[in-house]
A and B are shown apart, each in its own frame.
Chain A
């Protein structure tokens, strides 16, 4: 009787494990497909957002073209309008100070160079039009040394405040990363007006032909 029971139990286990193994193998093949599909979906979502941003850029350019055409066809001077355009470009490139709505993010620990680079990149990707760290204007063409900023780092970004804030608060995103190894919770504040200074040094012109 014991022998028969043993045979029954072994047979049951054998069948169960065989089917489980087969299904696990099938699931991991399907899982790889789902992972690929997940990445494709994320890439598509990113492309979609990028294309919407391009459409918004095109709308801005069309507006700019219309304004320039109006200036060109008007009987008055274009000095005021062009001065505004020049001032905007100078503010965007860091040649002059700028202000506007945005966010202020304070981290209470030292940042690695790669961490700071990535945070600034995320903010640019979220539409930040100007950036400053500890009161110093940041530029893609200017040196950036995370070690000089100490244990408390204040990052300011001018842009759509809610978009910037929501992007930073994404699960597993910047705020979560800044919490790790930090003695205090990072502070994120939306501001109606921020002011960022001009770049301390403008890139040299020596190498132009």
Chain B
């Protein structure tokens, strides 16, 4: 609201001395009014624009009223994993007990009394070749572990790395293989779910120790060959993953603890 003009100025008269202050005040108030009008509208447009922009953005990413893709929270899944791992331990313990009972039955007087010496020998040899007995001998130990520092694809040891090492060791026809405490039988698999490595469906953590019974010199030579396991050798020098091979004069490879009772396979010949 502008101040009214001084009386004489309204009439178009200008009184030099006494009218100056009111004139000045009038000019100031008019200028202020004009300024206010010039600022008010843009400010108004600014706030309206911001509001409209917020409104559109909110509408665009509005959450539906119903959950369309419910997923268990991470905590529940982690708890479930703990429960499953506990169950796995209990099942494996039960498996070991049963294997031991079967072994004890085989060696017991009741059964062995019914078996000839050659039959007993055949049974032991068949169990050994299948991986159902603990076995000692010379061989190599291969240690693989993640590189230090921030976890990246290059720095982590993967299930594929373990499979490649096993395949390289196999070129020297080892007698027995194991990863950690898990004996590898012909039905064993080395898998991964995310960063978790599973051998015989048992979770493995680094450092991964691979044991191979057999010609230690030949196996060590294959593993050291830069043309084999190129990716592992490259990552060993570039990012520092651990890839060490040790010759061992005495290794003990544990027995396979799973069941080797074939469900689908039938031997072609039974003596």
Q: Which of A19, A77, A113 contacts B57 (CB under 8 A)?
A: A19
Q: Report whether A43 and B81 are in contact in the complex, using a CB–CB cutoff of 8 Å.
A: yes
Within the complex, the shortest CB–CB distance from A158 to chain B, in Å, comes to 5
Instruction: Report the Cα distance A48→B88, complex, angstroms.
Output: 9
Interface residues in B127-178 by Cβ distance below 8 A to A read 127, 129-132, 135-139, 160, 163-164, 166-167, 170-171, 173-177
Q: Report whether A129 and B263 are in contact in the complex, using a CB–CB cutoff of 8 Å.
A: yes
Q: Report whether B74 and A92 are in contact in the complex, using a CB–CB cutoff of 8 Å.
A: no
Q: Report whether A129 and B187 are in contact in the complex, using a CB–CB cutoff of 8 Å.
A: yes
Q: Does A172 contact B (CB under 8 A)?
A: no
Q: Report whether A127 and B49 are in contact in the complex, using a CB–CB cutoff of 8 Å.
A: no
Q: Does A154 contact B (CB under 8 A)?
A: no
Q: Report whether B77 and A203 are in contact in the complex, using a CB–CB cutoff of 8 Å.
A: no
Instruction: Report the Cα distance A114→B42, complex, angstroms.
Output: 67
Q: Report whether A98 and B137 are in contact in the complex, using a CB–CB cutoff of 8 Å.
A: no
Which residues of B are found within 8 Å of A127, using beta-carbon distances?
187
Instruction: Report the Cα distance A125→B184, complex, angstroms.
Output: 12
Within the complex, the shortest CB–CB distance from B157 to chain A, in Å, comes to 15
Q: Does B34 contact A (CB under 8 A)?
A: no
Q: Which of A41, A55, A86 contacts B126 (CB under 8 A)?
A: A86
Q: Does B31 contact A (CB under 8 A)?
A: no
Within the complex, the shortest CB–CB distance from A50 to chain B, in Å, comes to 3
Within the complex, the shortest CB–CB distance from B55 to chain A, in Å, comes to 8
Q: Report whether A50 and B198 are in contact in the complex, using a CB–CB cutoff of 8 Å.
A: yes
Which residues of B are found within 8 Å of A88, using beta-carbon distances?
260-262, 265, 267
Q: Report whether A203 and B115 are in contact in the complex, using a CB–CB cutoff of 8 Å.
A: no
Which residues of B are found within 8 Å of A122, using beta-carbon distances?
189
Residues of B within 8 A of A (CB): 41-42, 45-54, 56-58, 60-61, 71-74, 77-78, 80-81, 84-85, 87-88, 91-92, 94-95, 98-99, 101-102, 105-106, 108, 110-111, 114-116, 119, 122-123, 126-127, 129-132, 135-139, 160, 163-164, 166-167, 170-171, 173-177, 184-191, 193-196, 198, 201-203, 213-216, 250, 258-271
Give 17 CB contacts A-B under 8 Å: A11-B45, A11-B53, A16-B56, A41-B77, A48-B84, A50-B202, A54-B91, A61-B99, A69-B105, A83-B122, A93-B186, A94-B186, A99-B265, A117-B164, A122-B189, A207-B216, A209-B137
